[in-house]
Amino acid sequence: MNIVVPIKLVPDLVEELEIDDDGTDLDRDFLSLRINEFCDHALEEALQLKDAHGATVTVLALDGDETDKVLYTALAKGADRAIKITGIDGAATSRQTANAVANALEGIDYDLVLTGVQAADDRDGQLPVLLASRLGIPHVSVVSEVAIDGDAIHIKKEYAGGVTATLRAKPRVVLGVQAARETPRYAPVSRVRQIMKEAELDEVEAGDVGAGATSSVRRMFTPDKGEGAEMIEGDADAIAAKLAEILNAKRS
């Protein structure tokens, strides 16, 4: 089975996010990008399927800062091929990203697409369903387990409260992965360095990524901190004493 994993890079949410002078987008000059955590899970699930069934795994990502590192890391983890989609950058909307990935898939033989169910910057929708709808193939979102049985793909879809549905799909299908069956594996830096020397990243042109019907952002802002928490300061012991007082008052 040929599995494709489109990977989104997103701003590292641990870092401070700045809004640009227009007030309608992030200031992208100093953004530190990393792999979308759900895409990391999608990659892990693809590699698990490869380990169990001998699939080939191809990773794709839009060209931009950190893209090479993320793709080489995926190769170091066990992906077979990595493709950089050029001519479009990380500021692309989800819909443009879906179109770019769909264009890239035209030249690839694939059965199954696994990608992150969502990303922190999906203002105009999540990639899996945008991509599947553009490709005209089925999709399942919020997937936590994938199993291959001959020509059938068994999928676990999560609902609220721990309820899950099992669905069966035939290739081709796009799955929005919520969580892999195992914590995403780690690639040692030495292995990534070695791969960077040995392996090559393929490149394809994004092609026409026409935005389709879209909305415009009139304002981007940080939430009002006015009604936030009352912060408790001091050394650890003083804080613990104050918290114990608050908690005991609530318990009594």
Partner 1 sequence: MSQDIFVVAEHLRGTLADVTFELLGKGRELADATGGALVAVLLGGDAAALAGGLGIADGVVHVDHPSLAEFNPESASAALVEVVAQRSPRLLLVANTSMGMDLAAAVAVRRDVPLVAYATDVALDGDALVATSQLYGGKIYTESVLDGPSSVVSVLAGSFPAAAGKRDGSPTVDAIAAPADIDTGRIEFVALDEPEGGDVDITAQEALVCVGRGIQSEDNIPLAEALAKALGGAVCSSRPIVDSKWLPKTRQVGKSGVKVAPKIYVTLGVSGAPEHIEGMKDAELIIAINTDENAPIFEYAHYGVTEDLFDVVPPLTEKLES
**Scanning residues 206 to 235, which ones bind partner 1 (CB under 8 A)?**
212-223, 225, 227-232, 235
Q: Out of 159, 188, 190, 198, point to the residue binding partner 1 (CB under 8 A).
A: 159
Amino acid at 97: T
Position among 137, 149, 189, 192 found at the interface with partner 1 (CB under 8 A): 137
Using the rule CB under 8 A, which residue among 108, 120, 187, 199 binds partner 1? 120
Question: CA torsion angle for 117, 217, 219, 91 (degrees, to 10)?
Answer: 60
In 9-134 the beta strands, taken as DSSP E runs, fall at 9-11, 33-35, 56-62, 81-86, 112-116
Give the interface segment with partner 1, choosing from 18-26, 83-91, 107-115, 190-198 (CB under 8 A): 18-26
Smallest distance, partner 1 to C-beta of residue 122, A: 5
For residue 154, give both structure tokens. Answer: 């068994």
- Exposed/middle/buried for residue 233 (C-beta within 10 Å: 0-12, 13-18, 19+): exposed
Q: How far apart are CA 219 and CA 196, in angstroms?
A: 41
Stretch that binds partner 1, among 55-63, 67-75, 82-90, 173-181 (CB under 8 A): 173-181
Residues 35-64 close enough to bind partner 1 by CB under 8 A: 37, 41
Largest CA distance in the chain: 67
Near partner 1 by CB under 8 A: residue from 101, 142, 148, 206: 142
